Amino acid sequence: MAVAAERGALVDAVLERFFSLAKKRAAPLGAPYEHLWGLLERNTQGGKRFRPRMVMAAYAGLGGDDMDAAACVGASFELLHTALIVHDDVIDRDFVRRGIPNISGTYRDHAVDRGASVDIAEHRGVSAAVIAGDLALFNAYRLIDRSGVIGPVRERLIDILDEAMFASAAGELIDVDFSISRETPRVDDVLTMERLKTAVYSFETPLQAGAVLAGAGEATVATLGEFGREIGIAYQIVDDVLGVFGEEEATGKTTIGDLREGKRTVMIAYACSTPAWSRLCELIGDPELTGEQAIEARLLLVECGAKAFAEKTARAYAERAIAHLGEPHIPDELRAELHPVAETVLNRVR
């Protein structure tokens, strides 16, 4: 825990320096631009620094001792994460994230306060979010470029970041297609989407980046990729279960949003092949779903076995991930770093 806080502080410091410079540079180009940078900075704060933690866990577990460089690489993944969620909100037309106005929402509210119509205000909000996401995306590269890492290691890190972005874009596109298709996707298609959209950039590539930075051999980098992929998919399945069945205080998310949105999850894909579907499909995706109807939907998801199926699938992925840690070329220190990550995921479905 003390270690996690220390690492988090290093990442915070990198991002603080980066944004401080960017805001200074933006100021002569106009107060609104400086303000946009400040808002983007706020959007990188308060998170769990999940991706940097993966980078640093792999790095430290493989004997890396330049934690400042690892923090730069971690911050780069954090910025990529920010870019992806800011543009994800543009795509989903969301103005709020975890109960707080996001970039679009902040700009929209500000424009409404100044007397703009809701339509114009929302347009301004979305426009600002498109621009802010572009800035975060473009600068994800820059943070690696300025990390002081040079030569083939730098090139390899950029390749890995590229892979993260390439996969996320593919996942986002599949997700968009899910959301407008009238058909419910199959379980396998949901798993592919979640791997591409989230697991690759949140687990697989950050772990590989940490390993490459530590000078690890190809076998270790490959195994970390496989571990990250499996545990990332497990994490996402659990996240979807908690999005419907979790404690709102613990997750910070409502448990009705995903049901109202009709989010395509492993549970839903499973439920669709059971007799419960004839009723469930009337409830899921109804933006006006009431609290009572949500209770009914949850009950159906339990009764038809969808919840248990999702939990079982998540456990299977997490256990396969843990098995990778047992491979002989994984040093004990790395195992000690990553076992808790897998355990945390498993504990959420126990």
Please report, as ranges, the residues that interact with its own copies according to CB under 8 A. 25-26, 29-30, 32-33, 36, 83, 87, 90-91, 93, 111, 116, 120, 123-124, 126-128, 130-131, 133-135, 137-138, 141-142, 145, 155, 158, 162, 165-167, 169-170, 172-174, 176-177, 180, 196
Closest C-alpha among 350, 262, 271 to residue 309: 271
Closest to its own copies by CB, 34 or 226: 34
Query: Among all chains, which residue has been given the structure tokens 């409502």?
Result: 254
Closest to its own copies by CB, 64 or 206: 206
Q: Residue 182: how many CA atoms within 13 Å on its side-chain side? A: 0
Closest C-alpha among 109, 58, 350, 102 to residue 221: 58
The least distance separating its own copies from the CB of residue 96, rounded to whole angstroms, comes to: 18
The least distance separating its own copies from the CB of residue 111, rounded to whole angstroms, comes to: 7
Distance CA 103, CA 89 (A): 9
Closest to its own copies by CB, 50 or 166: 166
DSSP state of 198: I
Distance CA 152, CA 279 (A): 57
CA dihedral 194, 39, 99, 341 (to 10 degrees): 40
The least distance separating its own copies from the CB of residue 127, rounded to whole angstroms, comes to: 4
Closest to its own copies by CB, 153 or 158: 158
List b or e across 326-342, with b for residues whose CB sees 16 or more CB atoms inside 10 angstroms. Answer: eeeebeeebeebbeebb
Q: Which 3 state secondary structure label does DSSP give 46?
A: coil
Closest to its own copies by CB, 32 or 340: 32
The least distance separating its own copies from the CB of residue 65, rounded to whole angstroms, comes to: 26
Q: What contacts 169, CB < 8 A, 6 or more positions away?
A: none
Closest to its own copies by CB, 142 or 339: 142
Long-range contacts of 326-334 (CB under 8 A, 24+ apart): 327/223, 329/217, 329/219, 329/220, 329/223, 330/220, 330/223, 331/61, 331/62, 331/63, 333/60, 333/61, 333/62, 333/63, 334/58, 334/61, 334/62, 334/220
Distance CA 181, CA 275 (A): 21
Closest to its own copies by CB, 41 or 311: 41
The least distance separating its own copies from the CB of residue 332, rounded to whole angstroms, comes to: 35
The least distance separating its own copies from the CB of residue 169, rounded to whole angstroms, comes to: 5
The least distance separating its own copies from the CB of residue 303, rounded to whole angstroms, comes to: 31
Closest to its own copies by CB, 1 or 180: 180
The least distance separating its own copies from the CB of residue 265, rounded to whole angstroms, comes to: 19
